[in-house]
Structure 1
Amino acid sequence: MDTRYTNVAIRPPILDGTNYDPWKLKMSIYIQSIDSRAWKHVLDGWSPPMRDDDIPGLKPRAQWTADETTSSNYNAKAINSIFTSVDMNMFNLIGTYTCARDSWEKLQTHCEGSASVKKTRMLLLTSKFEKLRMEENETIVEYNLKSLSNEASVLGDPISNERLVSKVLRSLPKRFHTKVCAID
């Protein structure tokens, strides 16, 4: 058995405000690797338990059920992951949140913008995708459509593999074209 990687610590990616798209993808996997139920709390949210009696307000921790404590722990895993994966500027945006979903959404709105901004970004990305052509001296490996595809996925509108393949085939420079000879 290869043991070179058994003691490697898994660290979350760090969000510095300029790398949100890859950070978001990496963080979703990072949190899921810690616990899929922690990721569920990022997606669905969490609220501290409320009192069951006639007194309004939060339930004291000593009165939490086992399920309420477990749910709180999953939220804590998720929010800890988020807090430790951002620089101080980003932390200042989210440091007061107690719910992982709230901090995730605040970062998303701050870095991606509102729904209308995301729509505009997607329109610009689509235009860039359509205008992109492979240069004569460029190799297929260098012709990186995957970054555009990843960005579209982050914005919630992934580009299908069929569309990517079609784009590559339409964009190939003349040196990749072959002549078809008809045989009489």
Structure 2
Amino acid sequence: MHAHLAAQDDDMWYVITNGPMKILKVSTTTTTTEGAPVMKEKPKHEWTAEDKRKVNLDNVAKDIIYNTFDKNMFSKIKSCSTAKEIWEKLTQLCEGNNQTKENKLMVATHKFDNIKMRPRETMTEFDERFSSIAIEISTLGKTYINREIFIKVMRALPRE
């Protein structure tokens, strides 16, 4: 059962990154010049239950993605016709191009460099805010060694 779920997850990721699955079968009438079999689309009347499941995966993936987002984000992806198109649009919206990433990194680094614990802010609140910035920077590809982070935290705390 576990192997079946893993294969299903692999199929879902395939659909998201490569587009809807095509159901193929070996052509009995055509081969390549090297004698290898040629694949052709399998007629719908020959589809097995597994073939139908694979064809429907694009719809399943789109439904999962649609139900994940609020109305604002949904309005940005609703025109996409496949899960792959949605994924590419989301990647573009969330990550941006190289210039956008550089700008995001510059802003995050500035926040990191200038972070200070606020008056009446608890250690938990400060830790959450600091961690959020550190995760953002890490996501954008910059890393700090533990010593740099420790020094930054110590300098950000008030004297008392």
Change in Cα spacing, 1:122 to 1:62, as seen in structure 2 (3 Å) is farther
Displacement of 1:124 after TM fit?
1.1
**Counterpart of 1:77 in structure 2: which amino acid?**
V
Amino acid in the other structure paired with 1:120: N
Q: Pick from 168, 174, 177: which aligns with 2:153?
A: 168
Q: How many residues align?
A: 138
Distance 1:43 1:156 in 2: 23
Q: Is the partner of 2:10 in helix, strand or coil?
A: helix
Question: Deviation digits for residues 11-57 of structure 1, max 9, x if unmatched?
Answer: xxxxxxxxxxxxxxxxxxxxxxxx74366237633333176668xx9
TM-score in terms of structure 1 length: 0.54
1:95 aligns with 2:78: yes
For 1:48, the aligned partner's letter is M
Match of 1:108 in 2: 91
What percent identity do the matched residue pairs reach? 28
Q: Pairwise mapping of residues 149-164 of structure 1 onto structure 2 (< 5 A)?
A: 149-153=134-138, 155-157=139-141, 162=146, 163-164=148-149
Question: Equivalent residue for 1:46?
Answer: 19
Alignment check: 8 A CA contact 2:15 2:57 kept: no
Q: Aligned pair in 2 of structure 1 residues 67, 45: CA closer, same or farther (>3 Å)?
A: farther
Aligned 8 A contact 2:15 2:58 in 1: yes
Structure 2's unaligned 5+ residue stretches are: 1-7, 31-39
Q: Pick one of 123, 130, 141 that aligns with 2:113.
A: 130
Q: Higher helix fraction: Structure 1 or Structure 2?
A: 2
**TM-score normalised by length of structure 2:** 0.60
- Determine which structure has more spread, i.e. the larger CA radius of gyration: 2
| Contiguous gaps of at least 5 residues in structure 1 | 1-34, 176-184
Write the mapping of 1:6-155 to structure 2, written as runs, cut at 5 A: 36-37=9-10, 40-41=13-14, 44-49=17-22, 60-64=43-47, 69-135=52-118, 137-143=120-126, 144-153=129-138, 155=139
Tell whether the 8 Å contact from 1:37 to 1:74 is kept in structure 2 after alignment: no
Q: Say whether the 8 Å CA contact 1:75–1:100 is kept in structure 2.
A: yes
Q: Secondary structure at the match of 1:123?
A: helix
More strand per residue: 2
The CA RMSD measured in Å over matched residues stands at 3.6
Query: Per-residue deviation at 1:145?
Result: 0.8
